[in-house]
């Protein structure tokens, strides 16, 4: 076992993705270059990469501006919430009202026809329905963390805010939000123009075939796209870099079970890449179950062979803390608690569903575990400042070596796979709610919603 996880090698991948390529918005040429980069790297390891392409319209704001008109005039740095409607070329000009939450009684008839400055994290899970019901003229989302940069999110889906119409929306920083509050601003103007083009997005993966139990598949993956104006170094070039470094070591060592190393496109705002991957499995599942030699409970479809998704999303910050989100049997949580303690690496085990590609796997019944790193750097997530300066190769190596040991002991060398194939209690509670938004994304990427029943 001479080959080891090297933080410096992972760092080089982050450089290639976040500096050389830069922001990798789904459906754009830059995301395609990221997919080609990942595919080339996997190929150089001697693996046979596959790329699934799918249609995903891309939307990018070509012009956006926030101006305060009263009591004094001035422009405030802002970023667009892509997916919200354009304004007329001269902008929309309205009276300003501040709201603390997008829910009643913070919003009500008093916001109609006004520009709402929304504190406390803005979209809070994407649900603006109560706010939109009162027909504001426009919306300015104030950053929820003490960041000097506005937070930006790629796309807001019309479907999640039905039946109300979205309004032109911009993001500003927490700092500027406080300044404007203190100045008692009265009027503002929003100008927003978005270009919508047809685009393609991708899922790239390659496998190390299992030499003992090839019919047990573990997917180790991270998303390669980022939001507009965002180099996405921690979120999530670092996750992809860690996947590539793990692929390199297991391509050399081999594995008892099949390991699939993947990079997903269009996670931000959609979850498209991982969804495309599981939908292909689902199509195959239906065909395989009809084969004459398929026996329920004995035979396995390709989907049923999937026993775990290890999802890596937001990693590599120097100062911070490691987080782990279990969407699997409690035995997996116990195992990882013991392992990380044994290795002297502290992890906070969160009792939540991580908002990333792990959810897609949960939808088709595949357990998942997500690893993330939180800290000061998280404030720069989804901003132009999520750049390579936040990355510490030493931290990549710590998480990488832990994952190496975890994968080695269980998937790559374990005699028996020690975890039940279930997605856990927390996921079960949330599943019905999450399925609704999934259907809209299945339609968006041009697939058939009846694939998932
Ligand atoms: Zn991410």
pLDDT at 125 (0 to 100): 46
Residue 94 has pLDDT above 60, yes or no: yes
Distance 313 CA to ligand 1 centre (A): 5
Give the span between the Cα atoms of 412 and 404, in whole angstroms: 10
Give one word for 113, left, alpha or beta, with left for phi > 0 and alpha for psi -120 to 50. left
Domains in the chain: boundaries: 7-57+199-451, 59-195
More confident residue, 240 or 165: 240
The pLDDT value given to residue 173 = 86
Q: How far is the CA of 322 from the centre of ligand 1 (A)?
A: 15
Cis amide leading into 341 (omega within 30): no
310: Cα separation from own chain's centroid: 14
Q: What is the pTM of this model?
A: 0.89
Cα(52) to ligand 1 centroid in Å equals 20
The Å distance, Cα 164 to ligand 1 centre, comes to 28
Least confidently predicted of 61-70, 136-145, 148-157, 215-224: 148-157
Whether 157 shows a pLDDT value over 90: the answer reads no
Among 135-149, 153-167, 260-274, 425-439, where is mean pLDDT lowest? 153-167
**Residue 233: pLDDT over 90:** yes
Please give the structure tokens belonging to residue 270: 């959609």
Least confident of 33-37, 83-87, 142-146, 317-321: 142-146
Å from CA of 152 to ligand 1 middle: 13
pLDDT in tens, 325-366: 999 999 999 999 999 999 999 999 999 999 899 999 999 999
**Mean pLDDT, the chain, as a whole number?**
91
At 93 the three-state DSSP class reads: strand
Please give the C-alpha separations between residue 112 and each of 96, 97, 137, 165, 249, in angstroms, as whole numbers. Answer: 11, 10, 7, 13, 58
Write down the residue that tokens 């938004």 correspond to.
437
| CATH topology classification for 7-57+199-451 | Aminopeptidase (3.40.630)
pLDDT tens per residue, range 301-334: 999 999 999 999 999 999 899 999 999 999 999 9
Contacts of residue 105, defined as CB under 8 A and 6 or more positions apart, other chains included, come to none
238 CA from centroid of ligand 1 (Å): 10
CA 294 – ligand 1 centroid, Å: 38
Count Cβ atoms below 10 Å from residue 399 Cβ, excluding itself: 24
* Fold observed for domain 59-195: Glucose Oxidase; domain 1 (3.50.30)
Report whether pLDDT(253) > 70.
Answer: yes
Ligand 1 centroid vs 157 CA: distance in angstroms? Answer: 17
CA atoms of 89 and 153, how far apart (whole Å)? 23
Q: Coil, strand, or helix at residue 370? A: strand
Mean pLDDT, residues 146-166 taken together: 65
């Amino acid at each position: 076992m001479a080959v080891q996880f090297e933080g410096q090698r992972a760092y080089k991948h982050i450089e290639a993705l976040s500096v050389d390529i830069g922001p990798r918005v789904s459906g754009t040429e830059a995301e395609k270059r990221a997919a080609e980069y990942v595919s080339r790297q996997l190929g150089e390891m001697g693996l046979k990469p596959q790329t699934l392409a799918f249609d995903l319209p891309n939307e990018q704001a070509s012009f956006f501006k926030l101006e305060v008109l009263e009591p004094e005039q001035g422009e405030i740095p802002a970023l667009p919430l892509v997916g919200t409607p354009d304004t007329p070329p001269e902008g929309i000009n309205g009276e300003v009202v501040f709201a603390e939450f997008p829910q009643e009684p913070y919003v009500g008839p008093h916001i109609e026809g006004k520009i709402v400055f929304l504190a406390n994290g803005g979209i809070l899970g994407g649900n603006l329905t109560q706010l939109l019901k009162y027909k504001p003229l426009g919306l300015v989302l104030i950053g929820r963390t003490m960041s000097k940069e506005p937070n930006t999110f790629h796309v807001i889906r019309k479907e999640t805010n039905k039946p109300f119409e979205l309004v032109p929306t911009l993001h500003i920083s927490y700092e500027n939000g406080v300044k404007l509050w203190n100045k008692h601003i009265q009027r503002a103007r929003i100008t927003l123009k978005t270009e919508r083009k047809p685009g393609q997005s991708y899922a790239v993966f390659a496998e190390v075939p299992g030499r003992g139990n090839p019919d047990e598949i573990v997917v180790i993956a991270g998303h390669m796209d980022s939001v507009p104006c965002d180099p996405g170094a921690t979120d999530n070039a670092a996750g992809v870099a860690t996947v590539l470094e793990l692929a390199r070591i297991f391509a050399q060592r081999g594995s008892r079970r099949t390991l699939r190393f993947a990079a997903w496109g269009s996670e931000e705002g959609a979850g498209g890449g991982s969804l495309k991957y599981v939908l292909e499995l689902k199509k195959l599942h239906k065909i395989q179950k009809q084969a004459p030699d398929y026996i329920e409970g004995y035979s396995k479809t390709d989907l049923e062979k999937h026993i775990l998704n290890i999802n890596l999303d937001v990693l590599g910050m120097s100062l911070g803390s490691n987080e782990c989100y279990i969407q699997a049997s409690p035995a997996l949580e116990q195992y990882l608690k013991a392992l990380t303690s044994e290795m002297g690496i502290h992890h906070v085990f969160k009792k939540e569903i991580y908002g990333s590609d792990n959810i897609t796997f949960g939808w088709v019944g595949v357990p998942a575990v997500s690893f993330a790193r939180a800290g000061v750097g998280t404030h720069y997530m989804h901003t132009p400042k999520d750049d390579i300066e936040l990355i510490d190769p030493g931290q990549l190596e710590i998480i990488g070596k832990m994952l190496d040991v975890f994968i080695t002991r269980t998937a790559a060398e374990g005699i028996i796979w020690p975890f039940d194939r279930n997605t856990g209690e927390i996921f079960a509670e949330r599943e019905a709610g999450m399925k609704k938004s999934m259907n809209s994304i299945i339609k968006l990427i041009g697939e058939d919603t009846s694939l998932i029943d």
